[in-house]
Amino acid sequence: MSRIKEFNLPDLGEGLTEGEILAWLVKVGDTIELNQPIVEVETAKAAVEIPAKWAGQVQAIFHPEGTTVEVGTPIIAIDTDPGAGPVDDLPAPSAASLAAVDIAPAEGAVEPGLIGGPAPGGRTAVLVGYGPRTTAAKRRPRKGAAPAQATTPAAPAPVVAAPAPVPAAPVPAVNGNGHHGGPVLAKPPVRKLAKDLGVDLRTLTGSGPLGSITREDVQQAVAASSAAAEPLTVGAAATSAASFGADREQRIPVKGVRKLTAENMSRSAFTAPHVTEFLTIDMTRTMKALDRLRGRREWRDVRVSPLLLVAKAVLLAVKRHPMVNSTWAGDEIVVKEYVNLGIAAATERGLIVPNIKDAGRLTLRELADAMTDLVQTAKAGRTSPAAMSGGTLTITNVGVFGVDTGTPILPPGESAILAFGAVREQPWVHKGKVKPRMVTTLALSFDHRIIDGELGSKFLRDIGDFLTDPEAALLAWT
């Protein structure tokens, strides 16, 4: 049996057919351990680190960063017995697997932006969710450049050179590894920023730990480039004619999270008949209850926000109206006795909707801890595809962006989604007098094939009743 093992891109879940190599965490010649992360791959749902299947020494890397690779294609070769001497049987990926690879846009290409973030164009609207992918993956058009080929040594050698870079790439400066060439050390948010600003990371010298490139390095490079450019005089600016050519247009590739979001939302919007109802409520007592909760000794280190009680209200309302937590299956309606509660989260790669499994069985403290873990994992870019699958009911908190309300689109496979708007101090009639109160607006979209107007209205009313007086509702409903 050959000691050289080819590691294929695995199926990362939910039937995903391809992934883009964001960053290699190892290079040719490195000694790696079993389960050591070796590559970061972005799929249509998340960016994940893939661990090594074997311990040994990296002999070849078949695909450079930025390459889109189909599941099952060899991406790296590992010598599982490097101490046994030189090798001369290094395998190369098949011609068919190499022909299936498309080269991603160059380093300077602009990635899609994100909700509430600095990228031009923005991400998909916040009122979205995820569901199982049902459309077939389509390969992107070839860019005219031939795929990189793995290098097979002509004579026995302990280390085989990595594949040649894509033609026309600039000569790299000393990168985060402290030498020319090889993967650049930079976190995914920094890579995203560099793509948005058109900065080639390979031309920078990192100032971060181990020579990694930081956001400041990218921003300084942009500032230096602007300062070096020839300034336009006031007279020239005043007399120059307006231009509307391609140099003033931005083309954002539709791929990854944005592509799957578009497919899911189009399918949901035109297959499930949507109805949206609105309810404006006085949340003053809820806000006071949260203040008292934060003041308790056992809750002082817990992240407590209004969304926590909104989630609790939804879970209790589902117990009173279980049909809301269901799926349309053509000739039958599947009513689920568990609630996988989705919480929409804006991340560096766009909006994702991970869910809290069986949230209805959790205590209020357990629910708070689960929501904190969900948000922290999402912001770190470590949400797994499994965490985003199987959702049954979703909440999207548009209030964090200062938005009063909206008409959310149903995540595929779900029958209801609640939008929670901003909580603002407004004049409100309370006990016969107009007083300043903390007011918000809830919006509930639902599938009218399953939920009629009466059921949807009662479900939304019960959520509103809970948030109007949560302590009384807890005593009456539990």
What pLDDT is recorded for position 454?
Answer: 95
Average pLDDT over residues 164-170: 46
Angstrom distance (rounded) from CA 359 to CA 339? 6
The overall average pLDDT reported for the chain is 77
Beta bridge partners of 8: 74
Distance CA 118, CA 125 (A): 15
Please, how many CA atoms are within 13 Å of residue 104, restricted to the half-sphere of its CB?
A: 27
For residue 240, name the pLDDT band (cuts at 50, 70, 90): low
Judge whether 179 counts as a catalytic residue.
Answer: no
- Homologous superfamily (CATH) of 268-477 is Chloramphenicol acetyltransferase-like domain (3.30.559.10)
Q: Residue 417's CB: how many other CB atoms inside 10 A?
A: 29
CA–CA distances in Å: residue 14 to residues 24, 190, 271, 388: 24, 28, 21, 10
**How does pLDDT run across 415-453, given as a tens digit for each residue?**
999 999 999 999 999 999 999 999 999 999 999 999 999
**What's the pLDDT at 128?**
38
Say if residues 349 and 113 touch (Cβ distance below 8 Å).
Answer: no
Asked whether residue 324 carries a pLDDT value surpassing 70, the answer given is yes
Nearest to 309 by CA among 198, 108, 173, 470: 470
Is residue 435 within 8 A of residue 427, CB to CB? The reply is yes
94 or 149, higher pLDDT = 94
* Residue 149, CA distances (Å) to 5, 6, 97, 141, 365 in order: 17, 15, 11, 19, 54
pLDDT digits (tens, 9 = 90+) for 104-115: 444 433 333 333
16-25, 68-77, 106-115, 335-344: which range is least confident on average?
Answer: 106-115
For the entire predicted model, the pTM comes to 0.57
- How high is the pLDDT of residue 184? 76
Q: Is the pLDDT of residue 355 over 60?
A: yes
Share of the chain above pLDDT 90, in %: 35
Say which DSSP state 255 is in: -
The answer to whether the Cα torsion of 34, 35, 37, 41 is positive or negative is positive
CA pair distance 38, 27, nearest whole angstrom: 9
Q: How far apart are CA 214 and CA 197, in angstroms?
A: 14
Per CATH, which fold does 1-105+151-168 belong to?
Answer: OB fold (Dihydrolipoamide Acetyltransferase, E2P) (2.40.50)
Q: Determine the 3-state secondary structure of 296 from DSSP.
A: coil
Choice between 308 and 475, residue whose per-residue pLDDT is larger: 308
Higher pLDDT, 222 or 179: 222
**Residue 244 CB neighbours (<10 A):** 7
Q: Is the pLDDT of residue 403 over 80?
A: yes
14 within 8 A of 133, measured Cβ to Cβ:
yes
User: What is the residue type of 66?
Assistant: G
How far is the C-alpha of 56 from the C-alpha of 131, rounded, in Å? 38
In a 3-state reduction of DSSP, which class is residue 234? helix
Which of 29-33, 108-112, 350-354, 425-429 bottoms out in mean pLDDT, i.e. has the lowest? 108-112
Task: Render pLDDT for 169-184 as a digit per residue (tens, 0 to 9).
Answer: 444 444 444 444 557 7
Would you list the domain boundaries of the chain? 1-105+151-168, 268-477
* Higher-scoring residue by pLDDT: 385, 149: 385
Q: Is the confidence at residue 152, as pLDDT, over 70? A: no
pLDDT band at residue 41 under the 50/70/90 scheme: confident
Catalytic entry in 63, 179, 274, 448: 448
